[in-house]
């Protein structure tokens, strides 16, 4: 069993939004209930089969990391009354995602390998190999699409187009670098390298808050620190904990989310392997043992958790 979608009607609910992975319920004017489903997306496409325990992994890593960075940047989270649920402040989201990269991996590597030496207005040096550490972390923002693909964009374009004011954007960049530094330190304590990640921010009044999730396998990429240098030296692939292995499998099966392409069939064995990889990442990143929640009566459990929290306000 999995949590593929939810259809709740909570007290004082004013709207509902179904994201790629999360179901988001607005409560009154000021609160959001965000439910992490087991859906999985890649190349901005929701894949046809959900992954057992994935939503619980995402929500619990995000809760762990939001708590661990709350002294660096204020965030939207108020409580996590259920393993799949976070309740927090409603914000007006900025229409960009702040992607920051410490290594030449994933989309950055594919861009570099195509011959380009600039990404989102940031120049990249010659002579780099896949997974090499960059001279310093680079910020490569994307537009935040409600549907379809997010698009690379530069700082200059964001400000020139009025997507974000210059004052706010410079604050977003500062927050992004500080969060990445904290995330890098947390990962190092767990024997990991935080390779790249993305952050989403919004405004509540005049305050900028960190939103959504951070440092999860859906938004971040990790390498194992042990043996990193040796693997780079010998040209071996890095051991990594992230969703990249799902993307690589899709690419190998001729799917990158482009028009006319069909998602390859996901076998039961492959679904189970993805689930195990998510759980492994949770345990490696947090240092906690993952406790699987029963799927029996999951909807009743989640609904009761939210109702009880809202009733106590």
Residue with tokens 């995602």, as numbered in its chain = 97
Residue 147, pLDDT score: 57
Rg (alpha carbons) of the chain, rounded to whole number: 19
Residue with tokens 């990790």, as numbered in its chain = 222
Q: Which residue, 3, 78, 68, is CA-closest to 288?
A: 68
CB 276 within 8 A of CB 268: no
Residue 206, pLDDT score: 95
pLDDT digits 0-9 by tens, 80-132: 999 999 999 999 999 999 999 999 998 999 999 999 999 999 999 999 999 99
d(CA 21, CA 38): 7
| 3-state secondary structure (DSSP) of residue 291 | coil
Cα atoms found within 13 Å of the Cα of residue 233, Cβ hemisphere only:
4
CB 10 within 8 A of CB 305: no
Residue 1, pLDDT score: 87
Query: Domains (ranges, CATH) in the chain?
Result: 13-91+267-311 (3.30.200.20), 93-246 (3.30.470.20)
CB 261 within 8 A of CB 253: no
Residue 149, pLDDT score: 61
pLDDT digits 0-9 by tens, 26-43: 999 999 999 999 999 998
Roughly what angle, to the nearest 10 degrees, separates helices 166-189 and 54-68?
Answer: 110
Neighbour-count burial for 38-65, b at 16+ CB within 10 Å, e otherwise? bbbebbebebebbbbbbbbbbbbbbbbb
Ranges under pLDDT 70 in the chain? 145-149
């Amino acid at each position: 069993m999995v949590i593929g979608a939810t259809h709740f009607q909570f007290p004082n609910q004013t709207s509902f939004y179904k994201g790629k992975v999360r179901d988001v319920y607005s409560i009154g004017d000021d609160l959001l209930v965000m439910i992490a489903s087991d859906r999985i997306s890649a190349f901005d496409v929701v894949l046809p089969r959900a992954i057992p325990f994935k939503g619980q992994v995402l929500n619990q890593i995000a809760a762990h990391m939001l708590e661990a960075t709350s002294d660096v940047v204020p965030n939207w989270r108020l409580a996590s009354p259920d393993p799949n649920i976070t309740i927090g402040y409603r914000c007006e989201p900025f229409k960009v995602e702040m992607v920051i990269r410490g290594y030449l991996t994933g989309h950055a590597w594919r861009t570099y390998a195509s011959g380009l030496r600039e990404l989102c207005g940031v120049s990249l040096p010659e002579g780099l190999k896949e997974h090499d550490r960059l001279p310093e972390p680079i910020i490569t923002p994307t537009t935040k699409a409600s549907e379809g693909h997010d698009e690379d964009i530069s700082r200059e374009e964001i400000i020139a187009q009025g997507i974000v004011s210059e004052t706010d954007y410079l604050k977003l960049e500062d927050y992004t670098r500080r969060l990445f530094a904290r995330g890098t330190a947390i990962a190092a304590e767990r024997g990991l390298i935080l390779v790249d990640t993305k952050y989403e921010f919004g405004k509540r009044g005049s305050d900028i808050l960190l939103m959504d999730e951070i440092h999860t396998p859906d938004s971040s990429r990790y390498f194992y620190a042990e043996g990193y240098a040796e693997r780079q030296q010998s040209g071996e692939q890095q051991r990594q904990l992230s969703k990249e292995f799902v993307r690589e499998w899709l690419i190998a099966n001729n799917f990158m989310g482009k028009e006319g392409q069909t998602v390859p069939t996901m076998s039961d064995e492959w679904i189970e392997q993805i689930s195990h990889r998510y759980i492994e990442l949770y345990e490696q990143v947090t240092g906690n043992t993952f406790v699987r929640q029963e799927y029996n009566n999951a909807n009743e459990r989640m609904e009761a958790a939210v109702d009880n929290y809202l009733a106590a306000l």
